[in-house]
A and B are shown apart, each in its own frame.
Chain A
Amino acid sequence: MIVKFTNFPKEFKILKKELIKKFKKIGSKGHYVLGEELKNFEINVQKFLKVKHVLGVGNWTEGTVMVLKALGYKRGDEIITVSNSFIATCGAIAYEGLVPKLVDVGDDLNIDVKKIEKKITKKTKAIMPVHLSGIPSDLDQLNKICKKKKLHLIEDAAHAFGTKYKNNYIGTIGDVGIFSLHPRKSFHVLGDGGLIITNNTKLYKKILLLRNHGLKNREESLIWGTNSRLDNLQAGFGNIMLKKISSWNKKQLNIAKKYSKNLSNKLITPIFNLKISNPTFHQYIVRTKLRDDLKNFLNKNKIDTAIHYPIPIHKQIAYKKQFGNIKLPMTEKFSKEILSLPINPYMTDDEVNFVIKKVNEFFEIR
């Protein structure tokens, strides 16, 4: 048996007819930029997430850059975030000329809220938690800190489309949330794409201008903007995916529950609280000191795994060159222990059981 980490060919096989039909519909109209499909996609997401405003953009990175620009930050302002994330989290901040202030993570691999306040300075403008693998950060506590210190709460929701925190969807709880629609995300299109959601009408209007050359209409530009629009074609695919996402998320949650129940207690399984949230499990991340051996063992047994992320952002050349050396003990420790097991909606029971069997087998002989 071969267990793949993701399974696009299978997904494509199932959705092919619908996707191609949509492609042909859009193509025969010839509307590829800011068309009906995008408008409908934005409305559909708006209803799904119960949020006031939704904007389809080129990708997560461009979306975040536009958010930071629209919030009016100046060069040198500081944004608090985490180091155990994809490089884009800091890339977007650095690109806007801002300074990422990295905070260590807790056992749940999300930002450690206890360690935030001492990193806040006069220049701090926002906290940007990453809801890693679709498990929400401690949003109650984050909200409290932001209110007290008058900071914006920007949710990096790239992994968490459809996750709820208490009664609200991730991305709608802070001032603004940004999603990635990259093909490897649970909720995705067939190329690069992103979504910005907010209940703040002023912010929405500003980003609406920024994503399309600052244009109020075809002929008048109010501010110098850029070009970062979700392709109409990709929005069309997004409309198809949106109908599937709840069942995909449910499937992944069920796989995660099964893993957590049956995997050897010699490894640490993800920490989450079903009373607060139904994580989407974009990844299923376990921790063990024997990570590299386990990875090799699973690899030999044809089980795909990945590491999110083997080198924390603060250990990357790009960070060190610009912002110097810092220490984040937990993040560094975890980066040597974390391993993402396969999880996707197309996994069969047999595959899930096989993964459990092999992982447990590895720990039995040790």
Chain B
Amino acid sequence: MKNNFLIKQYISDKKMRIRHNYLSEQFNNSKEIFKSINKIVKFNDFTLGRYVDFFEREFCKYQKVKYAVGVGSGTDAIFLSLKALGIKDGDEIITPTYSFYATAGAIATAGAKPIFVDVKDDLNIDEDKIEKKITKKTKAIVPVHWSGRICNMKKILRLAKKYNLHVVEDACHAILAHDDKKKYAGNFGITGCFSMHPLKNLNVWGDGGIIATNNKKIYEKLKLMRNHGLISRDNCKMYGYNSRLDTIQAAVALKMIKKINFITNSRIKNANYLNEKLKSIKQIKLIKEQKKYKSVYHLYQFYCEKRNQLNNFLRNNKIDSKIHYPKPLHLHDAAKKFKYNKGQFKNAEKLSKKVISIPVHEFVSKKQLDLIINKIQKFYN
């Protein structure tokens, strides 16, 4: 077993001309960050402190939410939310089978059983298949706004109300995504969980996450939980955890959030351009955007024939296409203990064989998009 398989990936990604990882470009002009670090040293706060407060306040403004808590990662955001809601061993939590491992990992780490549900053609949880999975043990629904596209929250909230379930949103991909009423991802459930992993739309330069909530009680509990349950340096009210957004990373986040509208709009513009140019290729099926909804394209994905060949072809042409992800959650070894079988979630299994992601971030130029389009056309001709 290789310790750091990501190093290998970093090396292979470097050979790409149109890259998925744009962090070198983003790092240019980082003077501001070094100024902030000087201030952090002066303030003497290397954990929590002023910059974390500044960022949380700024985040609340953008997110249009009352409270925010900076934490160690998107995974921890979900895990801590579930713990704050009192989720315990043996509880069941409904979530889509199509997501990053962390969604189910956070649920399992909290002691609960992830109850998977199939996805629709937009890779979001199929809200019509949720109800029959609800049992006496069900405590919460964790919808995932996959790739930055909002789930059918109206129906999910209606079900949650009917069965008295919590809704914790995995909004890790979906900052500033909204529905037809312009309500933001993360503001529907009791908490909204965001990742600020380096490759997210809003990112820091290491692991980081943030939780949004309008519920004061949960907010206060989360603030205790992320810092050992301490009400002061020497007084511990409840056993907590240690999951804090690093102060230096909060300074990075504070700089990045000022660009989030530009980043989001660039991604949408790039996605629209790709959609327009790719729609005529009959081997490709685009993912439809609903009217008045805003998707923020953390990933730009479509379905295609000969997916693996196309992926290899693009990569050979130094275009950093990727598969997010080749296997739904219920088919991983990790899920064996929950007794899921192949064929159980047909749509997720089918789509995972057809889906591909193309670089869509703000550093991809129009010329580069044209090159990608050109190569895809060439492949199918």
Interface positions of A (Cβ within 8 A of B) = 8-9, 12, 20, 23-24, 26-36, 38-39, 42, 58-62, 65, 75, 86-88, 90-91, 94-95, 97, 182-184, 190-192, 205, 208, 213-229, 231-234, 307, 309-311, 313, 316-319, 321-322
Contact = CB atoms under 8 A, between A and B. Distances in A.
23 contacts: A27-B30, A30-B198, A32-B198, A32-B205, A35-B10, A58-B73, A62-B241, A62-B242, A62-B243, A86-B228, A87-B239, A90-B239, A97-B89, A191-B247, A205-B1, A213-B102, A217-B2, A226-B105, A227-B75, A227-B105, A229-B207, A313-B236, A318-B229
A218 B5 contact: yes
A93 B333 CA distance: 27
B26 A316 contact: no
Contacts of B101: 213-215, 221, 224-225
Nearest to B203: A32
Given A215-B101, A309-B234, A9 B1 contact: no
Contacts of B236: 87, 91, 313, 316-319
Interface in B166-193: none
List the 3 closest A-B pairs by CB distance, nearest first: A30-B23, A231-B206, A191-B246
A310 B234 contact: yes
A34 B41 contact: no
B205 to A, nearest CB: 5
B207 A58 contact: yes
Given A32-B23, A226-B76, 11 more contacts: A24-B30, A29-B23, A33-B6, A33-B197, A91-B242, A190-B246, A192-B246, A223-B334, A224-B108, A227-B72, A318-B239
B235 A316 contact: yes
Interface string B237-256: 11111111011110000000
Contacts, number: 213
Contacts of B323: 219
Given A28-B27, A219-B327, A322-B239, A91 B229 contact: yes
B240 A91 contact: yes
A310 B42 CA distance: 27
Interface string B323-339: 10111010011100000
Nearest to B48: A192
Contact of B235 (A183, A228, A311): A311
A182 B47 contact: yes
A290 B112 CA distance: 51
Contact of B206 (A61, A91, A232, A318): A232
